[in-house]
Structures are given as structure tokens and as C-alpha cells.
């Protein structure tokens, strides 16, 4: 049976400990990488590549195993752990980040494919002292329970309102040619790529509707 944890070890400390283990593993992998990577000869040896992109306004240059997803680069290399790894297969939306103004699943894209891109994560939307209006609305409407999906929900919601403003239609739009509206049905359809296992959906829609300036 597992021994009970020392109550002095807080969860945050454990998480930081886990992150440094992952960093050490990455350094070992780097040291074993061949100096030059001939195309198609990868075999078992990891292949690395360099990439530079802007994250929350800061330019970041990284040398990464080519297999590193944008999600893992954000979390493991840049220690921006606000973006969450849920399913890691593009099904749950917990990893949603905004890249060049568009929301994407950061788990289904390689970091090295984002040369020159501008990436916004939950850490770049607001701070505890100066919440983004969408963050404030989620707090006000209790748009979460456990909070694991929340950063993805909020990044997605911010982008959804941008998509509606840009006139992008959805499956819920009755008239493809009419301007898109932030109705409850539209918000539910547009947010369907973000799963909330606690089932806070109605409060999430209320929060987004308030920011959109109308009732759901």
C-alpha cells in the first residue's frame, strides 16, 4: 500500500518537482541526439530542431525533440502550466491556446511547426490582479468546478467571440449569409470542442453570454 504523503509537501511543490524531472529527461535526450539529422534516418535516435516564437508577448527560442507538441513545449520547456493536458488527442479542448489569433488544440500540433508564430495562453490573457473580462465572468458565474478544463474553456471562449465578430458561421447558424449572433445555441455549438467533466456548461454559457453583451 502506498504511504500517505507528508502533509508538509504541498501539491504545488510536487508539481514543480515533477517538472524538473521532465526537464532532466529532456537534457539527456538532447545529449544523445546526433549532431546532424539526415532526413529519413531517424531510427531510434531522437531528432532535434530549433524554433522561435512569441509566447504572451515574449520571444522564446527553443531547441526541441521534433516530436514535442506545442502543448508540451509550453508546459515542459516554458513552464507555462496553465494550459492543460487532458486527452492529448484533440478530443477534450483542455489544451486550447490561441495562435495568431485563432484557437487550436495545442496537443495536435508540433512546436517546430510554429516558427515566427504569436501564441497566447491563459497566462497571457490576464493576471490574478487584472483578470481578462472572460476570466472575471467565469469567476462571477461559477463556470467551473474542478477547474482543469477552465483555461481551455476561457481561451476558446475568447476566440469564439472573435469568430462571431468576424462573421464566421457555425453549424447552429440558420442563415449562412446573416451576421452571426452570440445566442445560447450558437455558443453551445461553438464551444462543443471543450469538454467539462464536472458539467458546468450552463454557467460557462452564462459567462460567455455576459461578455458577449447579451443573455443566453
Partner 1 sequence: MKSFTYERARTPADAAAAAARTPGAKFIAGGTNLLDLMKLQIETPAHLIDVNGLALDRIEPTAEGGLRIGALVRNTDLAADARVRRDYAVLSRALLAGASGQLRNKATTAGNLLQRTRCPYFYDTNQPCNKRQPGTGCSAIGGFSRQHAIVGASEACIATYPSDMAVAMRALDATVETVRPDGPARSIPIAEFHRLPGDRPHVETILEPGELITAVTLPRPVGGKHLYRKVRDRASYAFALVSVAAIVQPDGTGRVALGGVAHKPWRIEAVEADLPRGARAVTARLLADAKPTQENAFKLTLVERSLAAVLAEARS
63 scored as a contact of partner 1 (CB under 8 A): no
Q: How far is the CB of 49 from partner 1 (least distance, A)?
A: 5
CB 131 within 8 A of CB 143: no
C-beta of 16 vs 113, nearer to partner 1: 113
Q: How far is the CB of 6 from partner 1 (least distance, A)?
A: 35
Q: How far is the CB of 104 from partner 1 (least distance, A)?
A: 5
List 44, 61, 128, 130, residue binding partner 1 (CB under 8 A) = 44
Q: How far is the CB of 75 from partner 1 (least distance, A)?
A: 16
Q: Residue-wise over 157-189: b if at least 16 C-beta within 10 A, else e?
A: bbbbbebbeeeebbebbeeeeeebebbbebbbe
C-beta of 71 vs 200, nearer to partner 1: 71
Q: Which of residues 189-208 bind partner 1 (CB under 8 A)?
A: 189-194
43 scored as a contact of partner 1 (CB under 8 A): yes
7 scored as a contact of partner 1 (CB under 8 A): no
List 19, 62, 81, 108, residue binding partner 1 (CB under 8 A) = 108
C-beta of 17 vs 179, nearer to partner 1: 179
Contacts of 194 (CB under 8 A, 6+ apart): 92, 93, 94, 96, 149, 152, 153, 156
49 scored as a contact of partner 1 (CB under 8 A): yes
> Per-residue x/- marks for partner 1, 140-179, CB under 8 A?
----------------x--xx--x--xxxxxx-x--xx--
User: Which residues would be at the binding site for partner 1 (CB under 8 A)?
Assistant: 37-47, 49, 65-67, 69, 88-90, 93, 96, 102-105, 108-110, 112-113, 115, 156, 159-160, 163, 166-171, 173, 176-177, 188-194
Amino acid at each position: 500500500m502506498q504511504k500517505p504523503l507528508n502533509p508538509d509537501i504541498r501539491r504545488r511543490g510536487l508539481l514543480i518537482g515533477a517538472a524538473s524531472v521532465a526537464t532532466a529527461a529532456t537534457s539527456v535526450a538532447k545529449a544523445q541526439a546526433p549532431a546532424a539529422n539526415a532526413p529519413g534516418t531517424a531510427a531510434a535516435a531522437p531528432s532535434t530542431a530549433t524554433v522561435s516564437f512569441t509566447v504572451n508577448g515574449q520571444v522564446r527560442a527553443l531547441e526541441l525533440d521534433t516530436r514535442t507538441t506545442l502543448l508540451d513545449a509550453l508546459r515542459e520547456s516554458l513552464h507555462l502550466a496553465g494550459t492543460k493536458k487532458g486527452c492529448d488527442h484533440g478530443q477534450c479542448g483542455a489544451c486550447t491556446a490561441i495562435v495568431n489569433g485563432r484557437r487550436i488544440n495545442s496537443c495536435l500540433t508540433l512546436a517546430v511547426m510554429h516558427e515566427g508564430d504569436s501564441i497566447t495562453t491563459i497566462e497571457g490573457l490576464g493576471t490574478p490582479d487584472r483578470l481578462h473580462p472572460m476570466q472575471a465572468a467565469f469567476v462571477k458565474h461559477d463556470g467551473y468546478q474542478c477547474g482543469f478544463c477552465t483555461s481551455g474553456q476561457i481561451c476558446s471562449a475568447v476566440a469564439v467571440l472573435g469568430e462571431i465578430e468576424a462573421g464566421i458561421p457555425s453549424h447552429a447558424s440558420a442563415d449562412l449569409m446573416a451576421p452571426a449572433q452570440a445566442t445560447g445555441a450558437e455558443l453551445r455549438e461553438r464551444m462543443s470542442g471543450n469538454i467539462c467533466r464536472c458539467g458546468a456548461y450552463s454557467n460557462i454559457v452564462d459567462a460567455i453570454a455576459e461578455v458577449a453583451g447579451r443573455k443566453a
